[in-house]
Each structure stands twice: as structure tokens, then as C-alpha cells.
């Protein structure tokens, strides 16, 4: 049984709306790309292909940090700064509340009060009910749609649990880690692998009584960064400090990212990294198809039968796997 199509816009209306930077149309196309209906997905793909020549011109920034580090406030201030200098900003945000409540956009509206009312900002909460800390399989497509809609900076927020960071790192140009000027063991709370992925670290709440702790956090961060091999581009990750009260650090963060862009663009690494990410995207898409096949009812049934054979020792797993692939071939042929 087919449900009603998810939208009543025509393809030309979609393309026109997106290229005009219409946030409502942008929102609709992302919903289309996140649909569970096969025809919606095919349509979103077609639209994306049409829009492809208009993508790629933003700087894509991943922002991570443990809950409580001040990601929302940072994004609120950072986004505000960027729009003041004439930039349009898209925020692909993780709404922590929505992970439990199965998602209301209200969470982000409250979290980023000013940004959510800023006409130059597009905030999109990632779909809820997803694994991997809210990062969607479709986040890459969402980035491209936002770029086609003329957004200059794309901020992708993750919750700092580990797996989602690796995924986000694979789709952004610059990966920013927020730390708290608390105890020296802040770094240990953050998985070592995440620190190693950072192009820049910002130590938040570096003011007042925290100043001593800031120095410790800074030293820890620097030593963690020094332990890692320099990136192939030659970019050396920086550690900045930030204070919302003292109005310090936000502008410096943007300058750091601009410098990163200059540095990696002139050496060709900016594009090189993006190409590598594209290659990985294809690999992941091929894998994804495999996962989907494994969930096809006909094949699941076949697998259950083979599982029984394995359980009562009348088949070896390797044998059963061979047989399964034969069934899979027949299934694919029939499609």
C-alpha cells in the first residue's frame, strides 16, 4: 500500500525554490531525501543530480564536544558572527531532547533562540530514532542541498559519543572539538581518537576562576595533538580558548578556519580531502545496499532456513554462506 506522495511541489518548483535559497523548499527536499518511500528517494536523487553543479562552495564544519561543553551557545554565537559578515549559515543540529522524545524541532528553537529567528540561517534537526548519535545516512545529501540553496557555511553538530564523530569527520572540511576549561581529565573523558581527528580545539568557559584550569586543559590538548602525526596537508591543529562572558574566542575560531582553508586550498589538499570523502561515500553506498538486501524479507527467510541447518550441524557456516549468496544472486536477478 502506497501512502500519499510526501510533497506536492513539482521538480522545477523544487529546483527553482532551492536555487533561490527558499528555506521552506529546502526543508521539503531534505524531508524527501529522508523518506522511507522508494519513489521519494529516487525523486530526491534526481533533484540532487540536477543541483550538483551548484554544490561544493561552502565550508563544511563539524563541531563536537561532550554534553554540557556549550555547543549550542557556541553555535549560536558563531552563527551570529558569520551572518553579521553577510554569510548564510546552515546548522545540521542534534537536538538532544529529540533523541528521547522522538523529535520535536522545538528543542533546537529553544537551544538556539537567536539563530532560529535569523533569516540567513537554516536550522535542521537530524532525524530522530537514528543510531550513531543522530548522524543520518542522508546528512551528506543534506549538505549538498544546503549548498545548492546558497549556504556559505554548514555546521554539523555531533554529540561526542565516538562513532558519530568518525562519520561526521568523513563529511566535513574542518573538524572542531570543544573542550571545557574544567579539570585536566577533560581530555580523557573525550575519546582519544576524537582528539586526533580535530583540526582545531576550542577550550570553552576560559574565564574567571577557570583560568588556571584553562592552562591545564590547553597543555593537555596540545600534548595530545603533539603525540599525533602531522596531517599530510601540513596543517597543524590549533588550540584556542574562548569566553562567552569576555566575548573572546568566537572571531578567533573563524580566523583559524579561514586560515585552514587558505592553507589547504593553496596546497590542493582542500579538494584532495573532499575527493577522498567522495570515494568513501561510494564505498559506503555500496555497503548500504548490501545491508538493505540482507533485510529483504525473502532473503531473511532464506537465511533463517540456513541458520537452522548450521545450528543442527548439517551445514558449516562457510557452506551456508555460499548457499546464501546463491539465493541472493537469484533474488537480484529477479529484481
Chain residues binding a copy of itself by CB under 8 A are 45, 48-49, 52-53, 140, 275, 278-279, 281-282, 284-286, 288-290, 294, 303, 306-307, 310-311, 313, 316-322, 324-325, 328-329, 332-333
Nearer to a copy of itself, 209 or 313 (CB): 313
Distances (CA, A) of 133 to 36, 266, 277: 20, 34, 20
Beta-carbon contacts of 187 under 8 Å, excluding residues fewer than 6 positions away, are 179, 195, 217, 220, 221, 224
Q: Residue for cell digits 546552515?
A: 90
Nearer to a copy of itself, 49 or 212 (CB): 49
Backbone angles phi, psi at 84, to 5 degrees: -60, -35
Nearer to a copy of itself, 235 or 331 (CB): 331
Nearer to a copy of itself, 90 or 306 (CB): 306
The Cα 23–Cα 19 span in angstroms is 10
Least CB distance to a copy of itself at residue 322 (A): 7
Q: In this structure, what is the dihedral angle of CA atoms 217, 218, 221, 222, given to the nearest 10 degrees?
A: -150
The Cα 24–Cα 33 span in angstroms is 15
Nearer to a copy of itself, 4 or 311 (CB): 311
In the structure grid, which three cell numbers stand for residue 280, read together? Answer: 568513501
Nearer to a copy of itself, 226 or 272 (CB): 272
The Cα 61–Cα 176 span in angstroms is 7
The Cα 199–Cα 64 span in angstroms is 12
Least CB distance to a copy of itself at residue 7 (A): 19
Nearer to a copy of itself, 227 or 230 (CB): 227
The Cα 200–Cα 64 span in angstroms is 11
The Cα 107–Cα 113 span in angstroms is 10
Least CB distance to a copy of itself at residue 325 (A): 5
The Cα 106–Cα 110 span in angstroms is 6
Least CB distance to a copy of itself at residue 131 (A): 18
CA-nearest of 201, 83, 81, 220 to 152 is 83
Least CB distance to a copy of itself at residue 171 (A): 12
| Strand 174-180, strand 121-125: pairing | unpaired
Q: Residue for cell digits 502506497?
A: 2
The count of residues in the chain is 335
Nearer to a copy of itself, 68 or 193 (CB): 193
Least CB distance to a copy of itself at residue 279 (A): 6
Least CB distance to a copy of itself at residue 141 (A): 8
Least CB distance to a copy of itself at residue 228 (A): 18
Amino acid at each position: 500500500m502506497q501512502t500519499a506522495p510526501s510533497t506536492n511541489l513539482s521538480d522545477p518548483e523544487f529546483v527553482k525554490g532551492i536555487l533561490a535559497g527558499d528555506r521552506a523548499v529546502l526543508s521539503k527536499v531534505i524531508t524527501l531525501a529522508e523518506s522511507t518511500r522508494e519513489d521519494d528517494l529516487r525523486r530526491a536523487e534526481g533533484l540532487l543530480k540536477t543541483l550538483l553543479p551548484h554544490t561544493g562552495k561552502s565550508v563544511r564544519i563539524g563541531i563536537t564536544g561532550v554534553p554540557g561543553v556549550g555547543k549550542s551557545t557556541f553555535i549560536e554565537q558563531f552563527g551570529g558572527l558569520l551572518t553579521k559578515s553577510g554569510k548564510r549559515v546552515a546548522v545540521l543540529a542534534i537536538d538532544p531532547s529529540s533523541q528521547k522524545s522522538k523529535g520535536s524541532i522545538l528543542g533546537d528553537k529553544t537551544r538556539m533562540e537567536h539563530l532560529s529567528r535569523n533569516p540567513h540561517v537554516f536550522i535542521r534537526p537530524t532525524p530522530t530514532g537514528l543510531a550513531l548519535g543522530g548522524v543520518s545516512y542522508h546528512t551528506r545529501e543534506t549538505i549538498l542541498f544546503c549548498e545548492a540553496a546558497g549556504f556559505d557555511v554548514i555546521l554539523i553538530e555531533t554529540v561526542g559519543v565516538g562513532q558519530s564523530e568518525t562519520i561526521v569527520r568523513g563529511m566535513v572540511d574542518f573538524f572542531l572539538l570543544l573542550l571545557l576549561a574544567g579539570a585536566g581529565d577533560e581530555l580523557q573523558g573525550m575519546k582519544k581518537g576524537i582528539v586526533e581527528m580535530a583540526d582545531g580545539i576550542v577550550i570553552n568557559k576560559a574565564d574567571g576562576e577557570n583560568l588556571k584550569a584553562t592552562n591545564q586543559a590547553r597543555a593537555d590538548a596540545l600534548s595530545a595533538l603533539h603525540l599525533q602525526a602531522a596531517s599530510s596537508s601540513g596543517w597543524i591543529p590549533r588550540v584556542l580558548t574562548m569566553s562567552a562572558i569576555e566575548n573572546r574566542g568566537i572571531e578567533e575560531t573563524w580566523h583559524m578556519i579561514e586560515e585552514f582553508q587558505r592553507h589547504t586550498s593553496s596546497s590542493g589538499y582542500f579538494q584532495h580531502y573532499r575527493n577522498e570523502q567522495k570515494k568513501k561515500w561510494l564505498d559506503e553506498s555500496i555497503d548500504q545496499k548490501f545491508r538493505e538486501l540482507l533485510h529483504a524479507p525473502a532473503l531473511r527467510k532464506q537465511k533463517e532456513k540456513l541458520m537452522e541447518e548450521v545450528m543442527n550441524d548439517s551445514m558449516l557456516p562457510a557452506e551456508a554462506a555460499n548457499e546464501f549468496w546463491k539465493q541472493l544472486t537469484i533474488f537480484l536477478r529477479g529484481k
